[in-house]
Chains A and B, each alone.
Chain A
Amino acid sequence: MNKSDPLAVLLKIKEKKGFQVDDELLTQCYQLQNEHQYDRDRTTLKKMEALIEDALVKGEEDKLL
């Protein structure tokens, strides 16, 4: 693992803390921020919200199935 790779850092903390949040959601959130970290106009809030809402819906569906 590259110690200075931000995503690797996030995943490692998650594992250490035993958090339940999905790896995929965490990765998507990071990638979104990474792609837009130098954007002047910040438009990622809605996209982050959408990622979380999608994950919630997916969780609901999994429960139903």
Chain B
Amino acid sequence: MKLQELIINNFMPYKGEQRVAFPQHETQNVMLLFGDNMRGKTSFLNSIRWGFYGLAVGRHLRTIPRVNLVNIDAAAEGDWLMSITLKFSHNDKLYELRRQITKKEHISKPRSDSDFEESVGLRVDGEVLTADKIVNEVNQVIPEEISRFFLFDGELLQEYENLLIEESEQGEKIKEHIEQALGVPALVHGRDELKTLLKTARNLQAKDAKKDKELQQHAEQQRQLEIQLTSLEKDQKDLKAQKTEKQNEIDVIDDELKNTEAVQRKKVELEGLTGEKKVTEQQLIAQEDEQRQLLKTAWKDVLFNSVSLILENLRAQRDGIQSALSRKATLENKVKELKDTLEDPTCPTCQQDIPAEKMSTIKNSIDQLSAECELSEVNIEDMSGLNNKIDQLSKIQSQGEGARIVELSNKQRQCEVELIKIETKLDEIEEEIREFDTDQIMRQREKREQLSILLSRIGSDLNKIKQDIDKNQEAQDHIATLISKSAGAKGQLSSRRVNICQELEQLFSEGINQLRDALRGEVQQFASDAFAELTTEKTYNGLEINQNYGLSIIDHEGRILKERSAGAEQVVALALIDGLNRTARKSGPIVMDTPLGRLDPKHRSNVLKYLPKMAEQVVLLVHEGEIDPDRDLSNFAERIGARYQIERISATESRIVKGD
């Protein structure tokens, strides 16, 4: 299939008619559409999707309501007609598909999808197809189930990481899409229909068996099992419906939460800052308490230095008095000894008489020493007064209160500055999120968690029911075989029908698993080949696929690389897309929106060289940050067949113009 032309009319930002011709050349097969963010690249992708399938999708592949598809300015002018025409070729036939919506006549201002009427027309080689055949015809050429892998949003490439997470809800969804793309549905539908036919065949066989006395018991067992199976299948259907409903609710919440991610972050920041504010306020209170305690004894610290000098002086005085007392006592002793010598003039050491001429000298000494003693008169009361003063003043001790108070004051100032900063930030954040109901956001997060738990419970119940159904069918198969082999029923048409249906059903069932294994191997090989060309790390051994089609990078020693960068994720996802496209379909275009967003220049260069080889036609919707027209185009200039630019007319209107 090859796209030839796209005619857009009043679709999203594209007001009026815009035409884009796709490259038809075999090697110049790349079309570039440059556009800044919010100008309409994703809308361009959606215009193709809507043209083919009547569906435009946002995040989580959620459908965009019709009222949002019509250009807002055109609608304001009363023009509610929106249409997409796609011209393409397939198997040497020319197709022209036109899809349009317009508001119903009696509706003045559409609000919901039902306020519009949709019409679709398809010409194949000029011949008009009837409406009932259009959907199937389009799906034959370009199945919607595969569209995820050729009409894709590069910004959602990270969703493929979910394939590596066991039991991830999103991973399950993508896996389902992958298997649809790989042709597994042929076997899945076959198995399901054969199950239905087998059920009917068993009923007919049981009816025949009822007529045979020997087989009546088997017929009754079969009837009971059938009743049980019908009940189990009903439960299974109900649970699946519940699962879808809950999953949709989660998707809606995820969308809502995604839109308020910035608010949620701010709310978390707000909570953090409120906590910090509380801690800072408590610190301030503690500092004030400590300061109050220190002020009680701070006067001691203030007086301590002056008192120290006085104390020193007083202690010196006391020392002086003590010295004088001691000297006086010594003098008095000396006088006493000399007086004793006068009374008994015998030397106390040698017991000889002291000569009379020496006695006058002793008398003189006594007089002199007595005079000195009288001069050394000390007032004892002075001494006790001094001791009292010293004792009192010694109580004035410094604990460094002054320095600690200064230190505390500095800390308090810092805390106060910090508090002002926090309060300012809090005011700013509160102002930013004032218009949002943050409590509602938090409630939605809680609701999402509860829904996830519920979904997991439904999953367990579904597993249990599936096991019961499998057991039931095994039992029915067994009884049907017993009936078929019995003499009464052998060769009967109803038994032969059961045998054929049983065998076919088993073949299709087992075929699904074997086909899955084979397809996984093929996707792994193709993706590894693509990865080898895309990655800048040439020592990697390739990619390894898991049960969910998730791809792991294998290093040079055959080990799985645990942590991957955002760029590596994007390269692996591109390799997977390529592997799937090569496995699933032999031809067709690829339209990629923002595929190079997270890549460094070297990877970007590798990807740009590789992209033209990914499909017969490659349409790249890029901004100039991804592909620099001056620098990057040299990587594949010879492959560019068409170039367009999205020009801004206003905030709500864009125009596609052909480039050089």
A: residues with CB less than 8 A from B are 3-4, 6, 9-10, 12-14, 17, 19-21, 25-26, 29-30, 33-42, 44-45, 48-49, 52, 55-56, 59-60
Contacts and interface: CB of A to CB of B under 8 A. Distances in A.
Contacts of A9: 511, 514-515, 518
A39 B139 CA distance: 7
B189 A52 contact: no
11 contacts: A9-B514, A17-B507, A19-B503, A26-B504, A34-B186, A37-B186, A38-B185, A39-B139, A40-B139, A52-B500, A52-B504
B518 A21 contact: no
Contact of A55 (B135, B136, B500, B518): B500
Interface string B509-537: 01100110011011000000000000000
B144 interface: yes
B186 A52 contact: no
Interface stretch (B156-164, B193-201, B375-383, B640-648): B193-201
Most A CB within 10 A of own CB, among B183, B501, B522? B183
B186 A30 contact: yes
B500 A33 contact: no
B185 A37 contact: yes
Given A6-B515, A13-B511, A29-B190, A20 B503 contact: yes
B145 interface: yes
B500 A4 contact: no
B507 A13 contact: yes
Contact of A44 (B189, B496, B510, B522): B189
Nearest to A21: B503
B197 A48 contact: yes
A59 B496 CA distance: 9
B187 A6 contact: yes
B194 A48 contact: yes
A10 B507 contact: yes
Nearest to A60: B493
Contacts of B197: 45, 48-49, 52
Contacts, number: 105
Interface in B376-435: none
A3 B522 contact: yes
Contacts of A56: 493, 496-497, 500
A48 B501 CA distance: 10
Contacts of B144: 38
B186 A6 contact: yes
Contacts of A41: 135-136
Given A9-B511, A13-B511, A19-B503, A4 B518 contact: yes
B341 interface: no
| 5 A-B pairs with least C-beta separation | A38-B143, A38-B139, A3-B518, A33-B190, A37-B186
Given A37-B143, A37-B185, A40-B139, 16 more contacts: A3-B521, A3-B522, A6-B515, A13-B507, A21-B504, A29-B504, A34-B183, A38-B185, A40-B136, A41-B135, A41-B136, A42-B189, A44-B189, A45-B196, A55-B500, A56-B496
B476 interface: no
Contacts of A29: 190, 194, 504, 508
Contacts of A21: 500, 503-504, 507
A14 B507 contact: yes
Interface string B472-513: 000000000000000000000100110111011011101100
A21 B502 CA distance: 10
Nearest to A53: B497
